[in-house]
Amino acid sequence: MPPEANLSFAAAFAPALLDPARSTPSLVTGPNGKAAGRRYDVYRNNVTVSLIDALAAIYPAVQRITGTDFFRAMARFHVRSNPPASPLLFEYGRDFPDFIAQYEHAQAMPWLADVARIERAWLDAYHAADAVPLSPARLSAVAPDRLAGLVFIPHPAARCLRSGYAAVTIFAANRDNTTVTRIDASKPEDALITRPEFDVNVRRLPPGGAVFASRLISGRPLGDAAAAALEAASDFDIAANIAGLIEAGAFTSLADGDRS
C-alpha cells in the first residue's frame, strides 16, 4: 500500500460536506484555475439532500404530521450531527427518534418520537429475515403441565413498543394519505409489529399485552410472562393474548423452557 500521506485527499475533502461553516477544501479546483465553490457545493447538496430524503423515506408519518418544511429542517440538523455509519441506508436513523424527543421545536408534539419509533420498527420488520410463522395447532398439542415452562421463539420481524401516548393510532392515521380525524393523543398505546409473510402489520395491544408480548419475545417462559401481565392488568386474558400474538405472526416455533 502507498504511504498514507499521499492519500490524504479524503480527509481534506470530507469534513466540509456536512459542515456549511467550513470553506471549500483548497485541494479542489475548477478547470483552468476557476473557482470550485459552487462546484464543491454540488457534493454538499447531494450528501445533505440525499440523507434528508433517506430519513423522509424511513419516517413518512412523521413528515406528514410535521409538514415537509418542518421535517426537512429537523432532519437537516440530525443529518449534520449524525451522518450514517453504514452504507445500508435502511439501517439509518436509529437515533432519530431520540433526536426528535429532544428537538426544541417538536416539544408541542410529545408523542412524535414514539410515532418515529414505530416507523423505525416497521422498516426493521420489512427487511427482517423470512420465516414461517408458528401454526396455532402447535400450541394446542402442548400438554397442559408443560405450558408454564413453554418458551416462544420470536419471528425475526416481531417487535413490541410501548408509548405513553396514542402513538399507534397517530402512526396508522398518518402512514397513508387518508383524512386524519381528531385523535386523543394522551391515551397510552402499545404496538406489536410483525411481518408474518410480506406485509408489515402494526396493531395495538390490549392492557398488559405489551408486558406479556415483550417478555415472550425476549425468551421468558409463558408462566413468567403471564404473571407479569396479570400484575400489569388484573383482567388480562392470557388465552386471547396468546392467540392474538400467534395469529399476528409474532413467533416461529415453541421450545420447552425447562430443558433449555
Partner 1 sequence: MSTVIRPTSPTAMPLRFAPPIGGVAGTSFKPEHLPAILEAGPRRGFFEVHAENYMGAGGPPHRALEAIRREHPLSLHGVCMSIGGPRPLDKAHLARFRGLVARYQPALVSEHLAWSTHETSFFNDLLPLPYTEATLACVCDHIDQVQEAIRRPLLLENPSTYVAFRESSMSETEFIRAVAERTGCGLLLDINNVFVSATNHGFSALDYLADFPLSRVGEIHLAGHAEQADDEGDLLLIDSHDGPVADAVWKLYEIVIGRRGAVPTLIEWDSRIPDWPILEAEATAAQAILDRRQSAVPAGERHAA
By CB under 8 A, residue 115 contacts partner 1: no
Per CB under 8 A, does 54 bind partner 1? yes
Buried b (16+ CB within 10 A) or exposed e, 174-189: bbeeeeeeeeebeeeb
- Select from 41-49, 171-179, 213-221, 227-235 the region that touches partner 1 (CB under 8 A): 41-49
Cell numbers describing residue 28: 479542489
* Cα gap 235→161, rounded to integer Å: 21
Q: Any idea which residue has 410463522 for its cell? A: 133
Q: Which residue bears the cell 409489529? A: 193
Identify the residue among 67, 136, 156, 164 touching partner 1 (CB under 8 A): 156
Q: Which is nearer to partner 1, 87 or 144 (CB)?
A: 87
Q: Which stretch binds partner 1 (CB under 8 A): 81-89, 96-104, 159-167, 203-211?
A: 81-89
Sign of the CA dihedral 56, 128, 248, 114?
Answer: negative
Beta carbons of 212 and 225 less than 8 angstroms apart? yes
Least CB distance to partner 1 at residue 127 (A): 3
Nearest to partner 1 of 118, 167 (CB atom): 118
For residue 26, the 8-state DSSP code is T
The correct pick among 20, 22, 90, 240 for binding partner 1 (CB under 8 A) is: 90
Cell of 159: 417487535
Intra-chain end-to-end CA distance of the chain, in Å: 50
**CA–CA separation, 242 vs 171, rounded Å?**
24
Based on the shown chain and the rule CB under 8 A, indicate whether residue 31 belongs to the binding site for partner 1: yes
**Mutual orientation of helices 222-232 and 238-248 as an angle, nearest 10°?**
120
In the complex, the smallest distance separating the C-beta of residue 213 from partner 1, rounded to whole angstroms, is 17
User: Pick from 20, 132, 243, 258: which binds partner 1 (CB under 8 A)?
Assistant: 132
Among 16, 148, 153, 230, binds partner 1 (CB under 8 A): 153
- From the CB of 198, what's the least distance to partner 1, in Å? 5
Q: Is 253 helix (H, G, I), strand (E, B) or coil?
A: strand
* Residue 89 vs 183, nearer CB to partner 1: 89
* Neighbour tally for 192: CB within 10 Å: 25
Q: Which of residues 171-230 bind partner 1 (CB under 8 A)?
A: 195, 198
Contacts to partner 1 by CB under 8 A: 1-4, 6-11, 13-14, 17-18, 27-32, 34-40, 42-43, 46-47, 50-51, 54, 83-90, 125-132, 153-157, 195, 198, 252-253
